[in-house]
Structure 1
Amino acid sequence: MSEPSSVPPETAPPPLGITAIIEWLGLPPSGDLGQELTTLKGHLLAMEDTAASAQQRHRVLDLIHARSVTAVARLTPSLDEAGLPLPRKLRALVKSAQELLELLARNFLTILQDQVDEHLVKGLRQPQDVILWRAQYLLKQHLLISALVASPAAVGIWEAAHRTYALARERGLQGQPPEGTASSIENEYASTLLLACAQPASFSARELEFIADIAQRHGHRLEFLSITDERHRGLFWIDPNRDSPAVALARRLPPPETPVLWFSCDQLAHFLERQLHTLESGSQRTGTSELPEFAATLSGRSVLRRLIRFWGNPARRRFPRRRQSYRVTLHAGLEPLAGLLRGPALEEGEGSSWMITNESPDGYALMHLAGTSEKLEVGDVVALKPENHPPGRGGWQACIVRWALSENPEHLEIGLQILAPKALPATIALPGENASAHPHVLVLPAVPGLRPNDSLVTPAGLLPADQGRFVLLVERDNLEIKEVRTTSLDEQTARVEIFSIAVEEQPD
């Protein structure tokens, strides 16, 4: 298939009559994804001014729904490795897909709320529960795409998702899967809420697809509550009348006298804890097949640990943030950071320029100004230094990327957590490898009261769990050779792992 392209609205075909639209929908999908999305949206809009019977409108809506789901499924794989910010061409496709999903969902909701056609619904091919399920699913896909491209949800999408679920509850249709579907309307809504509660900006696109899969499989473990019950640790609330996702009770109380919908993620968090224990123990007896295959990887287990915390024990922000506006230079990746700490091997001009917009004692929020950001990914380590700092090897701060947001191709914001005020370049000497193959790593010196032991930052998957002792060459003022062992795995992302280490005492 040729590379998909975006088609501007002015090149879309002129509106067709209802018969011509039905004939077009019977043709094979276009190889040009941009043209396919634009034409589908055009036919939806054309139906508003086309003379047709209710039966014809419902038939066209069914056909457009099937083509739209297929078209969006063609788009989402291209978002996994796209990087941020998205290229303009891909961003245009995302916009077309989300506009189509929203318009189609609102058409389904209009069917149920149009009093003129209400008496016809029972005689049509699709019953009310199927129509509501489709609307809920389309809105979920819209929000998933926003998460995959690290973009805020469009105005009105969350309000429509809340309203769709409320309509299903009013009609008693939320609990059972409609005919031809594999999940209930409530499960579709619950999986949408779970994705938002997982703080999607703090995960890569591939990790988000894994989270969405878990949420879909186990959305039934989310517990809707009639009243608040503070015995639950993973307690969230929704204001159904507001265009916003759920909020953790630990982070903010609902406004007084506001009717809210409560739910708890405790049951799901406990389930994931059991699954994670099974994976880490190497046992296959307790149903690890209930999770996607990605769960068995190092990155998958890292995501599970974070989900257990986000869903089962959401925490307040530890420190207040202060607004700032000074420039910094940033280099992404463990190798560049180790090189900068080692000396002038890497030119500082190769980095990218950013503006610090706010900071706290443990991190920063930054906005991209200039330079490449293609290598940047959530979970990677970066080197950070103010632009007015004197040149040289000093002044570089080791941080890890915690979240990323991108509203358009010219805009990228990231959040960084400070790993240590000072980091030391080092090399691991692994048995059986020659000197040229020794990987570069970082040592984070212990900080009294915060980090009692030295930490080691390595590429993900470098050290197996049973590595035992190994030799570490630390470049401090002089080269230090130490025999060390890992004592715990403190952090694990798709890019790096952070271990606590202990120096092995040499016998006298």
Structure 2
Amino acid sequence: MRRKKIPSPPIQLQQALDWLAEPQQGDPLLDLVPLRNHIAALGLLELPLRSRIKIDELLQQRAERIDEALIPLLLDVKLPLPIHLGTVAQGLIGLRAELGEAWLRIAGDVNPRNLAGIRRSGAQICLQGIFNLSRQLVATLLTATPTPMGFWRNAQALYHSARESVDPTATLPAEMSAIDARFKAMLALTAAQPEGLAPREIAFLADYLESNAAATRIDMICPETGGDWLWLNANIDQPPISLERVKPDGGPCLYFRFGELAELAARHLDQLGDGVPPLSLGLPLQAAGADYRNALERARQCWTAPRRRSYNRRPQALPVEVCTQLSTLWTALGSDSQVEPHSRECELTYSDWTLLNEGPAGYAIVHVVGEVTGIVPGCAVGLRTGAGAAWQICLVRWARSKSSSHVELGLEVLAPSAKPIRIQALTTRNPEPPIPALLLPALPSLNRGEAILAARGDYNARPFTLLQENDARLRIVECMPHRSLIETSSIEVFEFIRNPTAD
């Protein structure tokens, strides 16, 4: 009796299996291109469901190695991203999207009959997909790039598919709870306006939401009043929208609010402020740092009530110059002085930008030409309308970057002008050298006295000496911090009081 000949696997599948059988490379990032190629090739085959799940699980393991190697490299980068790093980051974002779509296709093909033979539930399959999309979102936010097309449509499809795969009258499987938590974390992270956070703050917030996003409330029924509710439409690929601002026009929708999450964050902030160790609260260790608590507070404010624009912005197309380095700006403002700041070396470079729109509090600008480095939400920049015009001092409220050659900023004007100074902490031992800072004029209309802008430190918490040159004369004044106005991971702005008796 002749044995039945077993057909050989498709060449694309055999190539993927051979690649997976090879010893893993020392640098996981070298796996990125071949991994994406194998996923694309396998996606064109009509493999049996069991084979598709097995091979995708193996490919998923390689994706985790790449993620673990790349994400730490994105935590300290500033915009615009270096070209090579931006290319690899976009590759990871695309990889996560492709894996998410692969698991979504599998979820659409399964039914109770064919699941029985593969020992996988519909919820387990959907969890794989939603996990990839949640990691895709984090990588997207760390690089300040727009959410890729199809992201929100696929996320909702996986969420709904998981809910439909379980018996509502039975005890929910653990995978369903994990899907619910991951989806809520994605919603909460998006609602926290992460474009205004530095990469490490985004990563911290993502870690915080891993264990706390379950406090988010999701409902299938439209609330009677808009209030602090937001919504998503399964038929539309769009991020969450405020129900108070726009009401959905039919279609299956999810409605959600973050009130309980905001209250939980407020309790955590109170406990951290009282000195309770973060680990005892189940929080990331970084929560002990002031910058991360500030990030959580900003997120809490967004979760309490969706922010609304108070004024309409006026469209513009005005060319402007921008100085993105604080030390460079100090030198530009003090061009008539012979004193050089004791700071990091920085080339004197101004870049050309276009002012897109303006409002009462600031501007939106886009980079046109010229060298740009060191941009991160929360840093300070100088803006002027041309040579000879005064440098306005602005805070970068948000930053977006579609590519390594594109940067768009939202700026809040802190002061219409500034003077270069130096400040030195008053101490009896181990005196610190003076550091460059900017003296901002008083703004009575905003109930703000004269203030100092400096690189992030602790000068807003201890006495200091202010050194200012006027007409080649050095003036030294002892000062006391009065009121902290702004604290970010890059700068601090605080009011102060001069001591006239020590002048």
Q: What interval of TM-score do these two structures reach, taking the shorter chain for normalisation?
A: 0.7 to 0.9
Which residue in the other structure is 1:104 paired with? 99
Which residue in the other structure is 1:376 paired with? 375
The structure-2 alpha-carbon separation of the partners of 1:46 and 1:482, relative to structure 1 and needing over 3 Å to count, comes to: same
Shift in Å, 1:226: 4.6
SS in 2 for 1:245: coil
| Pair 1:448 & 2:444 matched | yes
Q: Is the 8 A contact 1:16 1:43 kept in 2?
A: no
What is the TM-score of this pair, normalised by structure 2? 0.86
For structure 2, list consecutive stretches of 5 or more residues without a partner in the other structure: 1-9, 341-345
Distance 2:73 2:180 in 1: 29
Distance 2:439 2:102 in 1: 57
Which residue in the other structure is 1:312 paired with? 304
Shift in Å, 1:222: 0.8
SS in 2 for 1:57: helix
Shift in Å, 1:17: 4.5
Counterpart AA for 1:124: I
Which residue in the other structure is 1:260 paired with? 253
Which residue in the other structure is 1:55 paired with? 50
State how 1:222-301 maps to structure 2 within 5 Å.
Answer: 222-227=216-221, 234-249=228-243, 252-257=245-250, 260-284=253-277, 289-301=281-293
Distance 1:298 1:65 in 2: 36
Shift in Å, 1:271: 1.8
Which residue in the other structure is 2:365 paired with? 366
The structure-2 alpha-carbon separation of the partners of 1:430 and 1:218, relative to structure 1 and needing over 3 Å to count, comes to: same
For structure 1, list consecutive stretches of 5 or more residues without a partner in the other structure: 1-14
Which residue in the other structure is 2:147 paired with? 153
Q: Please provide the CA RMSD for this pair.
A: 3.0
| Pair 1:88 & 2:88 matched | no
Q: Is the 8 A contact 1:337 1:398 kept in 2?
A: no
| Pair 1:396 & 2:395 matched | no
1:288-341 C-alpha deviation (Å, 9 max, x unpaired): 642212221231122122111122233211322112222222222333333322
Distance 2:327 2:134 in 1: 38
The structure-2 alpha-carbon separation of the partners of 1:29 and 1:178, relative to structure 1 and needing over 3 Å to count, comes to: farther
1:36-76 C-alpha deviation (Å, 9 max, x unpaired): 12222222233345575432222112211222222222222
Distance 1:271 1:340 in 2: 46
The structure-2 alpha-carbon separation of the partners of 1:422 and 1:92, relative to structure 1 and needing over 3 Å to count, comes to: closer
1:96-138 C-alpha deviation (Å, 9 max, x unpaired): 32222222222212222226x7621222132211101011111
Aligned residues between the structures: 482
Match of 2:479 among 481, 484, 496: 484
Which residue in the other structure is 1:356 paired with? 355
Q: Is the 8 A contact 1:18 1:52 kept in 2?
A: no
The structure-2 alpha-carbon separation of the partners of 1:315 and 1:92, relative to structure 1 and needing over 3 Å to count, comes to: closer
Which residue in the other structure is 2:108 paired with? 113
Which residue in the other structure is 1:133 paired with? 127
The structure-2 alpha-carbon separation of the partners of 1:233 and 1:494, relative to structure 1 and needing over 3 Å to count, comes to: farther
Deviates more, 1:198-207 or 1:31-40: 31-40
Q: Is the 8 A contact 2:320 2:383 kept in 1?
A: yes
The structure-2 alpha-carbon separation of the partners of 1:91 and 1:328, relative to structure 1 and needing over 3 Å to count, comes to: same
SS in 2 for 1:412: strand
Which residue in the other structure is 1:11 paired with? none
The structure-2 alpha-carbon separation of the partners of 1:366 and 1:177, relative to structure 1 and needing over 3 Å to count, comes to: farther
Distance 1:112 1:406 in 2: 33
Q: Is the 8 A contact 1:403 1:415 kept in 2?
A: yes
What is the TM-score of this pair, normalised by structure 1? 0.85
Deviates more, 1:85-94 or 1:167-176: 167-176
Distance 1:297 1:476 in 2: 38
Q: Is the 8 A contact 1:385 1:396 kept in 2?
A: yes
Shift in Å, 1:93: 2.0
| Pair 1:495 & 2:490 matched | yes
Shift in Å, 1:32: 5.2
Q: Is the 8 A contact 1:456 1:499 kept in 2?
A: yes
Match of 1:326 among 318, 326, 336: 318
1:149-202 C-alpha deviation (Å, 9 max, x unpaired): 1111111111100111111222348995646x9x61010101111111111211
